[in-house]
Chain A
Amino acid sequence: ARPGGMAAAAFERRVLRRAAEHHYLRVRLELPDGGARPNAAQFKQIVVSALRELHGEVGAALPVDVLTYEEKTLSAILRVISSGLVKLWSALTLLGFYQNRRCAFRVLQTSPFLLALSGNSRELVLD
């Protein structure tokens, strides 16, 4: 829509594709055997070793950060560079064992904006 009255002003629209540097994932690790829970450093080690198995040394060198980690629920927020999202997500999906214990990663939410992870419409309770 043209701003009224000023013929000289032009309308401009900017579209940014894939402009976000990082992608954020909220994940939960499931360890059904009910043994000792890994701490934050061990959790990061699990993520990096999953990347190393599927994508080698190049994958293990991907800049992945664990922003938050809750040991009680084994859920965490990971941050990864946008070009590495596919590698990280595929590595988490295909991880089957942690120290000979069966495990699985569930990816709950993902977004290029961290703020978007604060609300989850799937767990919304309507009263």
Chain B
Amino acid sequence: PALFRRYVLCEVVSEDPRCRQCIEDRALGLAVRDAIARVHGDYGLACCSISFTVKYLNAYTGTVLLRCRKDSYRLLCSALPFVRYLESRAQRYPCFLNTLHVGGTIRTCQKFLIQYNRTQLLLLLQNCTNEEERQCVQKSLLSCSLTEEQSQSGDEEEDDGTE
């Protein structure tokens, strides 16, 4: 098959908590394409726009999965550090994108994300500042479990409950 794609997994990091509400596919797609246009010009924008979409978003953790052609993933990855803000409803919130993983299929990115979230939960537990937070995180960690297709268990803290 000649249609090769690359999936870039990144996380949106921002000091402003209101930035979370504008993590949505349209705003993020526009911000990334605008950055590519600035850094790589008309040619880069056209190259990366073939088969470009935001495949997955998680506003709670700020995880974003982007898809592009294999021929132009380097243009995309090199333009990601130039995304400095997300815009929604005429408001700009400063943020930056951290690239976590580049994979050839959604499945490899999902495997990586599950592993990454596991380590992040343990880090969160370590960095808890007071006993109440600690109890909360421990309770949700222990309540993570694999469920059948019908119901999804767990709350905000749990991201790797599906496999």
Using a CB–CB distance below 8 Å, which chain A residues touch chain B? 51-59, 90
Contact = CB atoms under 8 A, between A and B. Distances in A.
Contacts of B41: 51-56, 58-59
Contacts, number: 29
B42 A54 contact: yes
B4 interface: no
Interface string B37-58: 1111111100000000000000
The 3 A-B residue pairs with the shortest CB-CB distance in the complex, in nearest-first order: A56-B41, A56-B40, A55-B41
Contacts of A52: 41
Interface in B1-48: 36-44
21 contacts: A52-B41, A53-B41, A54-B41, A54-B42, A55-B43, A55-B44, A56-B37, A56-B38, A56-B39, A56-B40, A56-B43, A56-B44, A57-B38, A57-B39, A58-B39, A58-B40, A58-B44, A58-B78, A59-B40, A59-B41, A90-B43
**Chain A interface mostly helix, strand, loop or mixed?**
helix
Interface residues of B, number: 10
Interface of B: 36-44, 78
* Of B36, B42, B44, B78, most A-chain CB atoms within 10 Å: B42
* Of B36, B43, B44, most A-chain CB atoms within 10 Å: B43
Contacts of A59: 40-41
A52 B39 CA distance: 9
Contacts of A58: 39-41, 44, 78
Contacts of B37: 56
A53 B42 contact: yes
A54 B39 contact: no
A74 B18 CA distance: 54
Contacts of B38: 56-57
A55 B37 CA distance: 8
Contacts of B42: 53-54
A92 to B, nearest CB: 13
A69 to B, nearest CB: 25
Contacts of A51: 41
Given A56-B36, A56-B38, 5 more contacts: A53-B42, A55-B41, A56-B40, A58-B39, A58-B44
